[in-house]
Structure 1
Amino acid sequence: MALRVEIVSREIIRPSSPTPDGLKSFKLSFLDQLAATLHVPLVLFYPGSTDQFYQKNSSYQTLKESLSLTLTELYPLAGRQKSQYLIECNDEGAEYVESRVICDMASVTEHPKLDHLRMLLPYNPHQLSSQNQLSMDQVALLAVQVNRFSCGGIAIGVCIRHVIADAAATATFFRTWARNNASCYRNVTEYIPKNYVFDCTSLFPPQDIALAFSARASKHNQIIHKTVTKRFILSDSVIKDLRKKCSMDDDHDNVNYPTRVEAVVAFLWTTIIQSSRKRLKRHEILLTVNLRKRMVPAIPPHSIGNVFQPSRAQWEAGEEKIADCKILTKKVSNDLRKMEDGYIRKIFENGNFFKGMKERLKMVANKSEEMGTFAVSSWCRFSFYETDFGFGKPSWYGTCLNYINSAILMDTSDSKGIEAWVTLDVEDMEKLEQNSEFLSCFSVSLSQTV
């Protein structure tokens, strides 16, 4: 069914108070510079009970007022990127769009499709990534689209420029805006920790990133037409079975069971290697790691910006002819445990990062060696389902990022299961779904092409 979305209004929302002169510049760290040139997209769905709230607030004025307050607290989001080193906190504001959706919400959430989710967002995040760098100071860092369905429910779609926010920072924005909106509606003041703006440039000094941009451009070229994204839903019971399946045989006391994310990542990695059309000699898994609590001293947990790095685990055919779930789980777990303060600092000192990048690019370019890569970003435990604007918690949320050879993991609405949004080449996806080991787990779960 074609989704019909009618734009009602567009405007710019500015901070409720001007940013002080001493805070007019936000310096970008090396991790910010390395972030993909796109907006992080997320859509939260609130069912028809929101209609009662908006009978009293038909103009959506409360959402706009609370967004203005939020931009005062998270003031870099109202600025513009002026260079690869700097965001100017000039209070130019965020884009705000209101729309009407001519259908019931259930028709979108029960069978979600990427094209439908994109229509509920103010930008197509992938199209934005191809814009010329000269225009980056003209692009809002934050854009919001509030969509009202015929049934009375609303979907709040947000795009935040990746240069200023990773998934954890995106959760901070939602939590802050929701808290401010609920406070406006209920006329109460709620406290959450601040420390939103933290200068990471002393830990990760900015650099001239021409090499990183060329590598990243290559990555964006992989957003091609012959890919498919599928949503696999793993229930709590399936994940428990996976944790047992992926643990070492001698772990009888459950002490060293992998975490739920480790088990899901390792199992996906195992079956993707087994299902690859290529005769792989080597395969690498990248799993994003939030570094805020791992650095010494810890970086404030609610800080905006990009404070993540991927752990890297490798499988080589010379070590194990058959990709084994237990062995790959141990590799994933061991590499995650390495991601602590000393190890992270060593990655970025003395030009080590660029040396490693050159080696990986050379390895990929060497056609005599078949190497595969799969990247996983986990958005689990970021509490998106706790985002209450004053009219209840969301019934579901989704995204529309779809890089080839990647997956995004998200909590299910009960916070016990995991949704795995997997993007592969069409033929690789077909082979994956024919994998008997994959089917032994996912045959009892829901699979959808989104």
Structure 2
Amino acid sequence: MALPFHVNVLDHCYVSPAPPDSVIPPISLPLTYFDIPWLSYSPNRTLFFYRMPPPEFTTTILKQSLSLALQHFYPLAGNLSIPLPPAEPRIVYTEGDSVSFTVAESTTNIHHLSGNHPRSMTNLSSLLPELLSPTMSRDTHTPLTLPLLAVQITRFSDSGVSIGLTSQHAAADERTLYEFMKCWASFCKSLLNKDSFFEFKSTPWFDRSVILDPNSLKTTLLKQWWNRSNPPKDPREETDRNIVQSTFFLSSSDISKIKHHIVERCKIVNEDPPINLSLYETGVAYAWICLLKVEESHDAIKACPLYLGYNASGISRLKYDVPLSYFGCCIVFGRVRALESDLLDEDGLVCATKSFDVEIDRLVRDFLEGAERWICEWDELNVRVIGSPKVDFYGIDFGWGKAEKIEKLSGDEHGRVNVISLNGGRDLDGGLEIGVVLSVDKMSTFTSLFHGGLKEL
């Protein structure tokens, strides 16, 4: 029987950047070709669960430290301005802009919601503040002003607390969000410890001119976005409580076992093994195959292409220097292609990882090759991967230790696209934490396939 669940809002306010002795100047940041494709996606949503903050913890301290962090990341207190076409969307901060800050309480305990077992996406979503999506809310006859960031703090019946963060994808990638959260947490820890002085040294870089665009890729992508029709709203989004998220783990020994299996299968058929058997590629390939086998029992296997989309670093691939503290998006779109019949064959893992090899080789050779198709090609995805084990959100400390659990939620979790979320894992040394979103019945099948497959390797 499902546990009773309810979230009651206790307070709602707005938190502004508050420099002690100066005024933050207005800023208007143009979007780059890295940002434009994200206008087609729902906002990014991340949940941080903490079992028991110290007695001196208060939401007032969280608000004060948030205000201090926003002094450095002040565009996040601003808005995404979407004018009428053909004018360009921009990130705009003006004096007085602020971040929505909600304080709530839940009737359930944190153990249930932060576990690894299937948990209702409806319940998890209620711990996150809402932001309008650029695509779902777009009207080409009306200019839009959309907030970039919102925060919700939820206290649980067993003294646990969650921090829910919702942000516009077009404003910041995971690297930028990580730097912002690290800044916020550092100020919070300083206030809890009553430190008289704390200096944040990693100043964000706001100058967008460092992103070069000699082929006018931005113009091409922006024109495509303006010409897109709004996707139909899935009627299940507001009513379907049958969608759940579960967490699965691949330890370093599990990863080694999967790699060994792939290499041995290649020896049998006298083929070279995949080159890029990293933690990321190996773990994603294994989860991908399990997801496909869940669907296999419902549909006939076809010799048709399937596509898995993922994000790759753009900063490391540019042929010129961009500061690591660059504020905004700087990731590229990878799209792995393979035939369904090959992926569900006996050597499906080999096929999946070799398909990754092909896409990685293309990104290394020229990550902007085919970039003018980023938006339209991502419409064809069957699986989308969000998050990365390289971004250590578990290492963020607000003053009461690392999070008990971190959940990354996508706006695609209502059946249109299968979603895989990744974390490095709280206590895994060289392992991977994998979040999967499915219906209750399919999640049961996936769980059996995931654990059973590891035993058979």
Both proteins in one fold, TM over 0.5:
yes
Q: 1:146 is matched with which residue?
A: 153
Report the equivalent of 1:292.
315
Partner of residue 362 from structure 2, selected from 319, 338, 348: 338
Pair 1:440 & 2:444 matched:
no
Q: Specify the alignment match of 1:34 in structure 2.
A: 37
State the one-letter code of the partner of 1:44. F
Match of 1:324 among 348, 354, 367: 348
Q: Give yes or no for contact 1:146–1:157 (8 Å, CA) kept in 2.
A: yes
Q: Quote the residue 2:188 is aligned against.
A: 181
For 1:380, the equivalent position in structure 2 comes to 389
Tell me the CA shift for residue 132 of structure 1: 3.7
1:178 is paired with a residue whose SS is helix
Distance in 2 of aligned mates of 1:245 and 1:216 = 45
Give the match for residue 15 of structure 1: 17
Asked if the contact 2:73–2:204 (Cα under 8 Å) also holds between the matched residues in 1, the reply is no
AA of the residue aligned to 1:260: L
Paired residue for 1:410? Answer: 423
Cα distance in 2 between the residues matched to 1:177 and 1:397: 17
- Scaled by the length of structure 1, what TM-score is found? 0.80
CA apart distance, 1:158? 0.8
Q: 1:234 aligns with which of 228, 244, 249?
A: 249
Local SS of the residue matching 1:406: strand
- Provide the rounded CA distance (Å) in 1 between the counterparts of 2:454 and 2:436: 13
Map 1:106-145 → 2, pairs under 5 A: 106-110=111-115, 111=117, 112-123=119-130, 130-133=136-139, 137-145=144-152
CA distance in 1 between counterparts of 2:366 and 2:446 reads 34
SS of match in other structure, 2:359? helix
> 1:226/1:431 Cα in 2 relative to 1: closer, same or farther (>3 Å)?
farther
The answer to whether the 8 Å contact 2:121/2:241 transfers is: no
Distance 1:395 1:230, change over 3 A: closer
For 1:64, the aligned partner's letter is K
Structure 2 match to 1:202: 212
* Cα separation, 1, equivalents of 2:256 and 2:222: 42
Structure 1: gaps spanning 5 or more residues: 365-371, 445-450
Deviation at 1:219, TM superposition (A): 8.7
Alignment RMSD: 3.6
- Whether 1:168 and 2:175 are equivalent positions in the alignment is yes
Q: Check 1:219–1:165 CA distance in 2 against 1; reply closer, same or farther (3 A cut).
A: farther
Following superposition, the deviation at residue 198 of structure 1 comes to: 4.4
Instruction: Give the Cα separation in 2 of the matches to 1:82 and 1:405.
Output: 30
Please list the CA deviations of residues 3-52 of structure 1 after superposition, one character each: whole Å capped at 9, or x if unmatched. Answer: 2222121111111136654x51111112212103432111111111x142
Distance change (3 Å), C-alpha of 1:273 and 1:4? closer
Unaligned runs of 5+ in 2: 83-87
Q: Partners of 1:76 and 1:24 in 2: how far apart?
A: 7
Aligned with 1:189: secondary structure?
Answer: coil
Q: Secondary structure at the match of 1:8?
A: strand
Say if 2:138 and 2:230, in contact at 8 Å, map to a contact too: no
Contact 1:244 1:257 in 2 (8 A): no
Contact 1:122/1:158, CA 8 A, preserved across alignment: yes
Q: Tell me the alpha carbon deviations over residues 311-360 of structure 1, each in whole angstroms, 9 at most, x when there is no partner.
A: 222224798893621132122134224323x6124444xxxx14x76688
Residue 188 of structure 2 corresponds to residue 212 of structure 1: no
8 Å Cα contact 1:273-1:283 kept in structure 2: no
- Any idea what SS the aligned residue of 2:206 has? coil
Change (3 A) 1:99 1:114: same
Q: Matches of 1:98 and 1:380 in 2, distance apart?
A: 30
Per-residue deviation, residues 419-438 of structure 1 (Å, max 9, x unmatched): 32234578876775676xx5
Distance in 2, Cα, partners of 1:77 & 1:136: 20
Alpha-carbon spacing, 1:320–1:306, altered in 2? closer, same or farther (3 Å): closer
Percent identity over paired residues: 18
**Mapped partners of 1:360, 1:116: distance in 2:** 28
Determine the structure 1 residue equivalent to 2:285. 266
Check 1:266–1:320 CA distance in 2 against 1; reply closer, same or farther (3 A cut).
Answer: closer
Segment drifting more, 138-147 vs 98-107: 98-107
Q: Secondary structure at the match of 2:382?
A: strand
- CA distance in 2 between counterparts of 1:360 and 1:328 reads 18
Aligned residue in 2 for 1:102: 107
Mean Cα deviation higher: 221-230 or 84-93: 221-230
Q: Which secondary structure state, in structure 2, belongs to the residue aligned with residue 53 of structure 1? A: coil
1-structure distance, mates of 2:349, 2:191: 50
Q: Which amino acid aligns with 1:30?
A: Y
Matches within 5 A, 1:293-372: 293-316=316-339, 322=345, 324-340=348-364, 343-348=366-371, 353-354=372-373
